[in-house]
DNA sequence: CCGAATATGAACTCATGGGTTCAACGTAAC
DNA sequence: GTTACGTTGAACCCATGAGTTCATATTCGG
């Protein structure tokens, strides 16, 4: 039934679709371009997806799942933090910053924001693979640190939320809404500043 | 030359344009609808603006200026903070949260993000009336507080950036990308949490 | 090698909407 | 009144692009 080729084409289409939607936005993207970008003919696109709208939603969905998985993987060092908690947090913060400044991540965020009113299904994607999931995963790690006496014990969810806020909040202005590419050195500085403030607010007194 | 009526029409057009763009997005909004929303005929729109693109940019520009002015005004209490610094910060934080959850503010942010790649002029708007301006105004207030010994003296710009981050970062997830309307009680809780963390990180030791 | 399923490209239909034209209509200035 | 200017609504032209059709080519299982 689903031959290998079919699955490959489907992946190629979803991938190419995200690329074009990311570059053009939903309305400005045309299916012809998506087909070209995917290395596929236009009728083939309609062979796999019923219309442009579902193509859009599906493309966003896989992009969101991929992004979430990468971000959660970046929390890994917190599972076995060394003696130097600050260094571990710096490392995780820097990795998260890199992932959040990636051009596909920025585009994903842009698309989710801009089309959320036209596509109710997008809300489901956000609940399924949005920042809440990442916050929860981070809260889990922080809770274990709190239990080990290395952080304040109060409300790991709030701690996670504020860690992410301190880290990502400054991003928007610094990157000029995703226009400017930030140097790695600048990312390290931002990560260090966020971790520093976070530890002042959340380290055990 | 410019009779009173002309200016009124121009304002009405810019206002109606923002309303429709906010509801539909740039590409999906049609000039006919904008004309209807503004209580004006379609050729009148083209009488004031050369084309849809400049109409869009101008509408965004006035919306951004308005939003910035409101936000800077909300910092006013910090000019003469009472004995209770926390209470003053709570008040300002709450006011800022209300302004940032306003539906027009959310729409403005959405539009800036989603069309920044198609309209280079938007970058100018962001630099002119974007978060940097608000950060600077806040940093000024915080610098005076630091000078008065009520906050750490180091880097008021960073302090302002982190205050805004702690305040607005949690907003995105909580409001489900601007979909959910937040109750005033929830805004107060969020403001208090942000101020609490900010003071732990930035109060004089 | 054959046959079924899928892919292809080109051409087609049709709806949408940006931008313009024009003749008729206020309306305010003098 | 008349002159000048802005507004109006309707009709119009034209480009774009979603979605389909079909005849042909390709590919893969058996």
Q: Is A28 on the interface with B (CB under 8 A)?
A: yes
Asked whether the CA dihedral B115, B54, B52, B130 is positive or negative, the reply is positive
Cβ neighbours of B62 (radius 10 Å):
16
Q: Using pLDDT thresholds of 50, 70 and 90, give the confidence band for residue A45.
A: very high
- Closest Cα partner for B142 from B88, B67, B99? B88
Which chain B residues are closer than 8 Å to A23 by Cβ?
Answer: 117
CATH number of the structural domain B59-202: 1.10.357.10
pLDDT above 70 for A4: no
- Closest Cα partner for B93 from B150, B170, B157? B170
Place of tokens 């084409």: A9
Nearest CA in chain B to A204: B200
CA A140 – CA A47 distance, rounded (Å): 43
B37-64 average pLDDT score = 97
CA B56 – CA B47 distance, rounded (Å): 15
Residues of chain A with CATH 1.10.10.60: 1-49
CA A97 – CA A93 distance, rounded (Å): 6
Instruction: Check if residue A2 sits with its Cβ under 7 angstroms from strand D.
Output: no
Q: Using pLDDT thresholds of 50, 70 and 90, give the confidence band for residue B11.
A: very high
Cβ neighbours of B174 (radius 10 Å):
18
B4/C28 CA-to-C1' distance in Å: 11
Taking only the tens place, the pLDDT of each residue in B150-196 is 999 999 999 999 999 999 999 999 999 999 999 999 999 999 999 99
CA R_g for chain A: 20
Tokens of A173: 């202005």
CA A10 – CA A33 distance, rounded (Å): 16
pLDDT above 90 for A6: no
Taking only the tens place, the pLDDT of each residue in A147-160 is 999 999 999 999 99
Domain A53-202 has CATH 3.90.1210.10: no
Taking only the tens place, the pLDDT of each residue in B93-120 is 999 999 999 999 999 999 999 999 999 9
Phi-psi region of A156 (alpha: psi -120 to 50; beta: other; left: phi over 0): alpha
CA R_g for chain B: 20
- Closest Cα partner for B56 from B128, B122, B123? B122
Q: Using pLDDT thresholds of 50, 70 and 90, give the confidence band for residue B45.
A: very high
Phi-psi region of A102 (alpha: psi -120 to 50; beta: other; left: phi over 0): beta
Residues of chain A with CATH 1.10.357.10: 53-202
CA B68 – CA B74 distance, rounded (Å): 10
Q: Give residue B2's pLDDT.
A: 36
pLDDT above 90 for B89: yes
Q: Give residue B5's pLDDT.
A: 59
Cβ neighbours of A83 (radius 10 Å):
6
Nearest CA in chain B to A189: B158
pLDDT above 50 for A3: no
Tokens of A76: 């890994």
Q: Give residue A1's pLDDT.
A: 33
Residues of chain B with CATH 1.10.357.10: 59-202
For chain B, the residue count is: 205
CA A132 – CA A201 distance, rounded (Å): 22
CB A107 within 8 A of CB A22: yes
Range name among B7-11, B56-60, B66-70 with the lowest pLDDT average: B7-11
Q: Give residue B6's pLDDT.
A: 67
Instruction: Check if residue B39 sits with its Cβ under 7 angstroms from strand D.
Output: yes
B61-79 average pLDDT score = 98
Nearest CA in chain B to A177: B113
Q: Give residue A2's pLDDT.
A: 34
CB B66 within 8 A of CB B102: no
- The CATH architecture that domain A1-49 belongs to is Orthogonal Bundle (1.10)
Q: Is A23 exposed, middle or buried (0-12, 13-18, 19+ CB in 10 A)?
A: middle
**Helices and strands of chain B, counted as H and E runs:** 10, 0
Taking only the tens place, the pLDDT of each residue in A115-134 is 999 999 999 999 999 999 99
Q: Is B177 on the interface with A (CB under 8 A)?
A: yes
CA A53 – CA B91 distance, rounded (Å): 43
Identify the H or E element spanning B5. Answer: helix B4-24
Q: Report which of residues A160 and B4 the model is more confident about.
A: A160
Q: Using pLDDT thresholds of 50, 70 and 90, give the confidence band for residue A5.
A: low
Instruction: Check if residue A51 sits with its Cβ under 7 angstroms from strand D.
Output: yes
Q: Is B194 exposed, middle or buried (0-12, 13-18, 19+ CB in 10 A)?
A: buried
Q: Which residues contact A48 (CB under 8 A, 6 or more apart)?
A: A9, A10, A13
B43/C24 CA-to-C1' distance in Å: 15
């Amino acid at each position: 039934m689903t031959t290998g080729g079919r699955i490959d084409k489907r992946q190629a289409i979803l991938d190419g679709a995200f690329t074009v939607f990311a570059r053009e936005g939903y309305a400005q993207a045309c299916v012809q371009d998506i087909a070209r970008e995917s290395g596929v003919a236009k009728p083939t696109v309609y062979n796999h997806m019923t219309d442009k709208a579902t193509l859009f939603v599906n493309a966003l969905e896989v992009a969101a799942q991929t992004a979430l998985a990468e971000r959660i993987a970046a929390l890994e060092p917190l599972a076995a933090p060394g003696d130097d908690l600050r260094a571990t947090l710096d490392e995780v913060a820097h990795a998260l910053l890199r992932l959040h400044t990636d051009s596909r991540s920025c585009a994903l965020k842009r698309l989710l924001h801009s089309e959320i009113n036209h596509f109710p299904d997008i809300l489901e994607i956000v609940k399924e693979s949005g920042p809440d999931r990442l916050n929860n995963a981070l809260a889990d790690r922080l809770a274990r640190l709190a239990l080990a006496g290395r952080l304040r014990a109060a409300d790991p969810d709030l701690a996670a939320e504020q860690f992410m806020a301190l880290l990502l909040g400054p991003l928007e202005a610094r990157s000029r809404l995703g226009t400017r590419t930030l140097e790695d050195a600048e990312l390290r500085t931002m990560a260090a500043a966020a971790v520093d403030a976070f530890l002042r607010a959340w380290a055990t007194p």
